Structure 1
């Protein structure tokens, strides 16, 4: 009797395990199908994501203007124009001082190259000018042999720049419409959905919007910390173009990995050509320390508090996103993980507690913005 009962329990456990495995497999297949569809539609999805992130950044000002009596279209127009002016001013703040000191920087580059040649000619390398000239001729020959691939790369680069411009313009127009019509989106969405979905989907969308806002604000705070710390180090070392470099550091913080590498490279190069090798190495050390603090302290702590994610989850999400889809994956990994957590927490609440009335006072925003 006992053996029969144990056998029955074993079969029931196996059936339950098989059912759960089948359900998980269906979920994975559905997730793979959704990712495949998103990949096919990426030329539309990517501008939409950028527009949503920009909308979270500019919505507080739009909300303020609307509460002061401005019409939605006028408030969205004012904020969009201000955003363009700020973006243009940021570029000018970086480009104009660099252009004004371009002659001095060019002379510094020439002097730096000469110093490197003198250092290479001495011990322990003892490389004479003939060897340097031979290496230069070899490099030129390789470049000439690779002219075809270089031309292809150049064409690809031009295509990428053009695609980036199109994405930026489309994202800007989408941001304007989100700012103008966002508050009407969630009520409209609720009317299109049947049954309980009319309550659940808008509620989840409102929470997701709050989470995206927290992500953008935390990223801006991390970029500000980077800019202040690195700018302070450059100012102490009397490196020129401190303000443009600090602004570049802040802006590049929104582009993971590549942004930090680019801003750091520019700062080290300017320190090298203006202050010499010693100060350039000090600047490099400062940047490495700050970047390590950002990646392992600032970003995990700030984002974990703002997004409700543990610092380890933030680190793992960035690592996984970067390994799967590169820079874009690193950029979107944290907000995607936070949105998944939002959906999971909502489902857990609904399964564990009686349904509550939907929110009516918070931001049902962005693509469905607050009123």
Structure 2
């Protein structure tokens, strides 16, 4: 038995209006994805820099000056990272150039100990050792010649990155200045239209979310600073023992500090980079540093980090790893940096779900 369902014109128009509206909204979000990411990162940094701003207020015993405090906090971070790039960048370029220039000679020394010509004769390849050395020299020279071309072709990309950085800095300062006022006005409006219990619940949830971000970033920076200091001291000691220039101790420490801010994978990347840069000067120094850093990471991950971070976010390691993977594939390096605090915020919402559901039902 068939039935005929009649749909009036208004319902038909509303249905397609909703479909078109959602499609248009999705298109706008897709086109404005880069701008939305900048806004989100700025809001995240504004929350993360709150402890630093409060510390500056405590140092300055005079009346609070939120505008000056916000600007100083952002400038401290910007100048800090600019200093790291200015110190580490030239050192890495110099060491890589030295490595590429000296690699054929070092590899030829190693190859000479294995008598590759005899192996080549066995497989019917005459002068195998000489052919390998020529190929290595050609590869090294080609790579060195391409470095300048890569630098020139990257000018446009660097300009875009600098523009995004400036926008992020300005928005972060504005969020730090106007954010608290906007939040207070929002809760004042909510209080006039809903009951006080609902206002308290939402206020508690948002406070927990901001606390999660601020505490995570503070703990991560503190441990990264310790990691960089230990790296610099250990490299300096190796410079006294092996033929390694003492000037690379601080840059390698800054590399460890910077990459430790990347959860889980950062220390591994820093260890590889530092080991390679040490290997350019002394293979034994590189091996000694690699062994020491592995031992130190076990101490840091099992003793130091839990004490500094306390119970942290209360997230299982598998959830942390999944969060980092999703963040990395969705937003790249930025996604890795913000994945764990976002996962912590989601945990707060899940913990407060019962209270939120009750408020929504009321």
> Do 2:84 and 2:254's aligned partners in 1 also have CA atoms closer than 8 Å?
yes
> Do 1:94 and 1:245's aligned partners in 2 also have CA atoms closer than 8 Å?
yes
- Asked if residue 117 in structure 1 is aligned to residue 118 in structure 2, the reply is no
Q: Which residue of 2 aligns with 1:267?
A: 274
User: What is the root-mean-square deviation of aligned Cα atoms in Å?
Assistant: 4.3
Q: Structure 1 length normalisation: TM-score?
A: 0.66
The answer for unaligned runs of 5 or more in structure 2 is: 1-23, 118-127
> Do 2:201 and 2:356's aligned partners in 1 also have CA atoms closer than 8 Å?
no
Offset of 1:254 from its aligned partner? Answer: 1.9
Offset of 1:167 from its aligned partner? Answer: 2.2
Q: Which residue of 2 aligns with 1:340?
A: 346
Aligned partners of 1:234, 1:108: CA distance in 2, in Å?
18
> Do 2:48 and 2:213's aligned partners in 1 also have CA atoms closer than 8 Å?
no
> Do 1:72 and 1:181's aligned partners in 2 also have CA atoms closer than 8 Å?
no
| 1:236-315 superposed matches below 5 A | 236-238=237-239, 239=244, 240=246, 241-256=248-263, 259-260=266-267, 263-274=270-281, 276-290=282-296, 305-315=311-321
Other structure's SS at 2:81 match: helix
Aligned partners of 2:209, 2:322: CA distance in 1, in Å?
21
Range 296-305 or range 197-206, more displaced:
296-305
Offset of 1:344 from its aligned partner? Answer: 1.5
* Deviation readout 1:278-334 (Å, 9 max, x if unpaired): 222333344455556667876678657232334443344334544565534332221
Distance 1:293 1:35, change over 3 A: farther
| 1:38-57 superposed matches below 5 A | 40-57=31-48
Aligned partners of 2:26, 2:352: CA distance in 1, in Å?
22
Aligned partners of 1:37, 1:282: CA distance in 2, in Å?
54
2:63 corresponds, among 56, 60, 69, to 69
- Asked if residue 181 in structure 1 is aligned to residue 178 in structure 2, the reply is yes
Q: Structure 2 length normalisation: TM-score?
A: 0.68
Other structure's SS at 1:307 match: coil
| 1:104-253 superposed matches below 5 A | 110-126=101-117, 127-134=128-135, 155=153, 157-193=154-190, 194-195=193-194, 198-238=199-239, 239=244, 240=246, 241-253=248-260
Aligned partners of 1:159, 1:121: CA distance in 2, in Å?
45
Aligned partners of 1:169, 1:175: CA distance in 2, in Å?
10
2:333 corresponds, among 327, 333, 341, to 327
Q: Which residue of 2 aligns with 1:89?
A: 83
Aligned partners of 2:141, 2:86: CA distance in 1, in Å?
35
Other structure's SS at 1:305 match: coil
The answer for unaligned runs of 5 or more in structure 1 is: 1-32, 354-371
Aligned partners of 1:300, 1:313: CA distance in 2, in Å?
17
> Do 1:226 and 1:290's aligned partners in 2 also have CA atoms closer than 8 Å?
no
Distance 1:36 1:336, change over 3 A: farther
> Do 1:231 and 1:245's aligned partners in 2 also have CA atoms closer than 8 Å?
yes
> Do 1:304 and 1:314's aligned partners in 2 also have CA atoms closer than 8 Å?
no
Other structure's SS at 2:315 match: coil
Q: Which residue of 2 aligns with 1:16?
A: none
> Do 1:321 and 1:329's aligned partners in 2 also have CA atoms closer than 8 Å?
yes
Q: Which residue of 1 aligns with 2:21?
A: none
* Deviation readout 1:95-120 (Å, 9 max, x if unpaired): 57x39x95x98667644541212212
Offset of 1:59 from its aligned partner? Answer: 2.2
Offset of 1:230 from its aligned partner? Answer: 2.9
The total of aligned residue pairs comes to: 313
Aligned partners of 2:229, 2:65: CA distance in 1, in Å?
37
Say which structure, 1 or 2, has more relative contact order (CA 8 Å, 6+ apart): 1
Offset of 1:210 from its aligned partner? Answer: 0.5
Offset of 1:200 from its aligned partner? Answer: 4.0
Range 67-76 or range 194-203, more displaced:
194-203
Q: Which residue of 2 aligns with 1:3?
A: none
Offset of 1:209 from its aligned partner? Answer: 0.5
